[in-house]
Each structure stands twice: as C-alpha cells, then as structure tokens.
C-alpha cells in the first residue's frame, strides 16, 4: 500500500527532538542557576556555625521544585514555538519566538483571568523580543570585533585545501537571531 502523501507541502522539522533538547537544556541551566541561588540564600539566612549545612538543605529543599517549574514552562514555550512555526507555514524566524513567549506566559498566568493573562502575554513577548535584540546586538558586535574566521592551510598533506570556513561561536543562536533580521 505505501504511505499517503501528507496534506502539507513544507518540510516540518522534527519537533519532538527539539522539545526534548530544549527542555533538557532548560532543566540543566535552571538546575545550575537555581542551585547556586538557593545555596547563597541558605547561607545568608542561617546562623554562624551551620551555614554550609543550611545552604545544602536549601538546595535540596527548593531546587527540584523551581527547576521542575522552569522545565515545564520551557516545554510549553517550545511547544508554542513549534505550533506557531507550523501555523505560519514552516517559517523559522524571530516572530515565532516572540509569539511563543506571549503564549507561554499567558497560559502560565491564565488562572488570574483574561486581563492577567493578557498582561503576562505582553510582558512575555516583550521579554523575548528584548532577549532577541540583545543577541542580535551581541552578534553584530562579535562580527565587527573578531578577525576573519577563514584559515589558510599552506603546508602538509592537506595543502590543496586552500581555505576552510570555521563555524562561528554560538552557531545555533546565530541561526535563530538572523532568520528575521534584514542585512
């Protein structure tokens, strides 16, 4: 029999693996940051003589809850970003991230009512737009301050290879930021 042709014409990226990668990275980054924050918070609030134990206790008590919430929010954000990408016909640009930030923040605060969800969505979209702008400015600055990334091989068994293009730092974020920015 064979497989039927799907009803869409564009190639859909593998959103399942993107979701797993995104949530895993968010969990690890959140675990590192929240652990450090909770440890310092436990140190500051403890009497002298028991600060180290109090810091470790604060990490054990609070980090799993906060990191789990952060990972769950990241899963909602990634799912919204993939849904917006599919709804827009497979376009991958910064507007997907901004819309996903608005949707995830509004969904998180939906128990506060329509006005609270709308306000949270506006704040979420603004935060993602600001982050994308900061990344764009940082990459423009890196382009102007770093020397050319071309290297020339002139000796050895690889001499016929004249130039090789080295990948830029943070190549994934570069691809996310430059999708929608005109040059």
Q: Residue 149 pLDDT more than 50?
A: yes
Per-residue model confidence as pLDDT tens digits over 46-81:
888 888 999 999 999 999 999 999 999 999 999 999
What was the pLDDT predicted at 36?
95
Q: List the beta strands (DSSP E) in the chain.
A: 150-152, 163-165
Dist. CA 108–CA 119, nearest whole Å = 11
Per-residue model confidence as pLDDT tens digits over 12-30:
456 667 788 888 889 999 9
Average per-residue pLDDT in the chain? 79
Q: What is the mean pLDDT of residues 17-45?
A: 89
Coil vs helix vs strand at 7: coil
Element (H, E) at 11: none
Q: Would you list the domain boundaries of the chain? A: 14-89
The model carries a pTM of 0.66
Q: What is the mean pLDDT of residues 101-118?
A: 95
């Amino acid at each position: 029999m064979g497989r039927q042709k799907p009803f869409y014409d564009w190639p859909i990226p593998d959103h399942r693996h993107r979701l797993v990668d995104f949530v895993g990275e968010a969990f690890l980054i959140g675990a590192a940051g929240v652990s450090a924050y909770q440890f310092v918070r436990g140190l500051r609030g403890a009497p002298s003589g028991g600060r180290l134990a109090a810091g470790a206790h604060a990490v054990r008590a609070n980090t799993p809850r906060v990191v789990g919430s952060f990972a769950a929010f990241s899963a909602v954000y990634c799912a919204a970003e993939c849904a917006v990408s599919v709804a827009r016909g497979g376009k991958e640009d910064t507007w997907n991230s901004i819309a996903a930030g608005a949707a995830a923040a509004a969904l998180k605060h939906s128990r506060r009512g329509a006005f609270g969800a709308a306000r949270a969505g506006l704040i979420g979209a603004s935060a993602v737009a600001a982050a994308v702008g900061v990344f764009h400015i940082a990459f423009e600055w890196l382009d102007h301050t770093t020397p050319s990334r071309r290297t020339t091989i002139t000796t050895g068994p690889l001499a016929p290879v004249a130039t090789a293009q080295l990948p830029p730092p943070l190549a994934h974020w570069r691809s996310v930021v430059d999708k929608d920015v005109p040059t």
